[in-house]
Structure 1
Amino acid sequence: MAENNDLASGDDILASYHLPSPKPLWLNAVYARHIVRGNFMALSARPPTVDMGEWVAHQVVEHWRMLVTFIRLVHDKDETGHTICNGRTCPKMSAGPNHSFTWLNSRLEPVEIPAYEYLSLVQRYISTKIDDAAVFPNDPTGVSFAPYPGASSSPSSPPNSGGGSGPDWVGRRSGFPQNFLDVCQKIFRQMFRVYAHLYWSHFEDPLYHLGLEKSVNSCFSHFILTATTLDLLGPADLEPMQALVDLWAANGTFPQDSRAYGYANLRAGERLLALAGATTAV
C-alpha cells in the first residue's frame, strides 16, 4: 500500500493503523530478523521453462508445508490435553484489535468462530484441495513446460495454450481446472490469515519463547513475496500486517523491484527502524 500522502510522517502513518500500545514484539526491528540474509525473490520467481500452473501449484504446496509446522505448535494438544490456541485465549480468529476473520457456515453465512476451530477448518480445507487430483493433478505425464522462455511471470497473464481455439487459463496445458487460480488465491488468502493470527496472538508465546521468531519471519516474508509476485494477494489482503510489510521494505528484506516493496509505506517502516535503533536487515 503506497503512501497516500507524501507529507505524512512515519508517526502519522503508524497512527492511522491504530496499533495497540505497546506495539507487538514483532514490530520491533530486533525481532523481525531472519535466519539468513538473502533475496527471497530468487525463490519466488518462476523459472522460465516451468509452466505457470505447475509453478503456482508448487508454491501452494511448499508454503502450506512450512506453515503447518507453526500451526501445530499452537493447535496440537500437549501431554495434558490442552492447546495453546483455544476458546479462552482466542475466542475468535483475529489479527489484532482491528481485524477478525469469519467462516462460511452450511448456509453460506459468515460467522465468527474460535481461532482453534478456524485453524481446524483451514487445515481440512487446504489439505482436501491439495489432495484432490481434480484440482492438483498428480499424473507426471501431464506436466508441461512453459511455451517459451519469455513467458509472463504473472498468472494474471496466462500464455497461449497453443492447443487451438477455446478459452485459456493458468495451468490448462498441465491439466489444471479452469478455476485453479481462484482456488489457489483462496488458499493463499487463508494461509495469510493464519500467519496474521500467529503473529498477533502467538508470536511471543510460543514462537519467540521457543526461539522460532527468525524461522517464522523467514517463512512469512518469503510467503509475502511469493503471494504478491504471483498476484495471489493484493494490498487489501495485507492490511492486518501492513506495518510489518512497511518494516521489511524499509530494512531491505523486500527488494525494491518487488511488488511487496511497492505496497509498503516506507516512512512508517523507517520510523519503526528508528524506534528500534536499527537501520539495516539482519
Structure 2
Amino acid sequence: MPTPAVAFQPALACHLKIRTPWETSKSMALCLGQVFSKDKTFRPRKRFEPGTQRFELYKKAQASLKSGLDLRKVVQLPEGENLNDWIAVHVVDFFNRINLIYGTVSEYCTERTCPIMSGGLRYEYRWQDGDDYKKPTKLPALKYMNLLMDWIESLINNEDIFPTRVGVPFPKNFQQVCKKILSRLFRVFVHVYIHHFDSICSMGAEAHINTCYKHYYYFISEFNLIDHSELEPLKEMTEKICS
C-alpha cells in the first residue's frame, strides 16, 4: 500500500492555502456558506449512504456539533457504538472538510509561491509512495497535496479497508491506516496556519478554521490517533486555542 513519507528538515518558507466549511452551529454554517463558494471545492466530497449505520452516526455527530456542545464531549464515543465505525465517520468527514479548506486557497498555491511542501523554516514534508516516487521527494505544495488527497481517497474508497456492507468487519490494521491518514491531513493545517493564515483572516474565516482544527485536535487526542511529536509544528497555537 502506498504511503507518503515525511522528512523534517530546515526548509524554505512557502505559501500554501486552505479552505473549510464547518458547521458547528447553524449560524456558522450560514457564514461558511458565504465564505466558501462551491466553485472553490478542491474535489468532490465523499458522502455516507443514507440508511447505513455510518450515515446515522454521521447525523448524530453533526447534530452534536450544531448543538453548541463542548467539542471535547462531542468527540467522545457514543454509548453502545463501535469505535471503528466512529473513527471511520470522522476520518471521512475530516477528509471532506480539509479538502474544502485547501480548495479555498489552492488558487494561490503555485510552484512559484509554494515551491516546497513545508511548514515554516523547520519542517519539510517529502513525498514517497513506492511507485512513482520510490524515495522521499521534494515537491511543490500543490503537487504534494494532490498526491496526498488521491492517496487518502483511494483508501477510503477501498472496501477492504473502509467496508460499507453490513456484517463486513474492519481489517485488523484499520486504526493504523486511519492514524496515517489523520497525521497527513494535519500537514494541511500546518501549511494554512504557518503560511496563509493572513488570507484566511482576510476572508473572515479564521474562527471557523479554528473550530475545525479544535474538533480535529480533540478527536485525535481522545483516541490517541497521532503521535504528539508530529503535532510539534503547531504546538504553541494548539496550546492557545485548545487549552
State, as a whole percentage, how many aligned pairs show the same letter.
28
What residue is the counterpart of 1:90 in the other structure? 114
Q: Which runs of 5+ in 2 are unaligned?
A: 1-27, 29-65
Q: Distance in 2 between matches of 1:216 and 1:227?
A: 17
Contact 1:136–1:176, Cα closer than 8 Å, also in 2: yes
Deviation above 6 Å: which 4+ runs of structure 1?
none
2:160 pairs with one of 120, 123, 134: 134
1:195 aligns with 2:189: yes
Superposition RMSD on alpha carbons, in Å? Answer: 1.9
Q: Normalising by the residue count of structure 1, what TM-score does the alignment of the two structures yield?
A: 0.59
1:179 aligns with 2:170: no
Q: Distance in 2 between matches of 1:178 and 1:126?
A: 18
Q: How far apart are 1:214 and its partner, in Å?
A: 0.7
What residue is the counterpart of 1:268 in the other structure? none
Q: Distance in 2 between matches of 1:49 and 1:38?
A: 20
1:233 aligns with 2:191: no
Higher helix share: 2
Equivalent position SS for 2:122: coil
Q: Distance in 1 between matches of 2:203 and 2:71?
A: 24
1:60 aligns with 2:91: yes
Aligned residues: 177
Q: How far apart are 1:38 and its partner, in Å?
A: 4.9
Amino acid of the residue matched to residue 103 of structure 2?
R
Equivalent position SS for 2:80: coil
Equivalent position SS for 1:103: coil
1:102 pairs with one of 114, 117, 126: 126
Q: Distance in 2 between matches of 1:121 and 1:201?
A: 20
Equivalent position SS for 1:74: helix
1:123 pairs with one of 131, 149, 160: 149
Contact 1:228–1:234, Cα closer than 8 Å, also in 2: no
Larger Rg: 1
1:112 aligns with 2:106: no
Q: How far apart are 1:193 and its partner, in Å?
A: 0.7
What residue is the counterpart of 2:59 in the other structure? none
